[in-house]
Amino acid sequence: MHTITLRNFPDALLSSRIVGFIIAGSDGCDMVFRSALLFAVCITVMVTAGCTDSSSAPAPLVTPPTPMEPAAVATTSGCANDVCSFVPSLISQEGSTSLRLEAAPLRYSPIMSSTPGIQLAPNTTGFNVSSASFMWNASYGEFLSWNPPDYTVNRRGSAVTGSNGTLYWTFIDKPVSTAEPVVITARAIDPATGALLGTSTVTLAWDGDYAVTVQDIR
């Protein structure tokens, strides 16, 4: 015998044949059992649908886009660590100008009567000799000036500043040692800015005790 408890069934199903128990094998029992089964299935479907409400469903997993590599940026010598700065190119005044001394004769001795000394004439590039100030220095001996119109020989010493013309180099006494060469240096300075316009060096080697030869000019 099957006992079925009916709750909330339609009144049409509660006929006079249902008192509290339904006798097994009767037509009413079959109908009630089928209705109860259908009702249970409906309840199950409703409950399942409620549990899977789209409002509580988890958000779909979205894969973030793969970041793109930044485009390569052409860099110059002014860029470092992706930071670029403008550096104005500086024009070196000394790089655009130059000085070279011309020496004659190539061998000199104080006993020569044709010249008071070795002539040192500035040969310049990028500036005029007359517009520059010169600084002269000799490691031994002294400078002379011998210029027109009277060609008077004037002794100037071993260091001369301000002369912008040709000078002569000579010596009077024999050196203590002839192993050390004589180094003559001339520097050209821009009097307006103080910038170095050029440098030249003449190296004299001793030839015996009382003569020198021009060994090198730079």
Q: Which residue has the higher pLDDT, 61 or 132?
A: 132
* pLDDT tens digit sequence for 118-127: 999 999 999 9
* pLDDT tens digit sequence for 175-201: 899 999 999 999 999 999 999 999 999
CB 173 within 8 A of CB 163: no
Q: 21-25, 54-58, 143-147: which has the minimum mean pLDDT? A: 21-25
Q: Which residue has the higher pLDDT, 168 or 70?
A: 168
Backbone angles phi, psi at 95, to 5 degrees: -70, -30
What letter would DSSP give residue 120? E
Q: Which residue blocks in 1-104 are alpha helix, DSSP H?
A: 27-51, 93-96
User: pLDDT-derived band of residue 211, with 50, 70 and 90 as boundaries?
Assistant: very high
| Cα–Cα dist 42/8, whole Å | 14
Nearest to 119 by CA among 166, 156, 182, 187: 166
Nearest to 197 by CA among 106, 114, 133, 107: 133
Tokens encoding 189: 């300075």
Verdict on whether the full-model pTM lies above 0.75: no
Q: 33-47, 62-76, 99-113, 154-168: which has the minimum mean pLDDT? A: 62-76
First-to-last alpha carbon distance for the chain, in angstroms, is 132
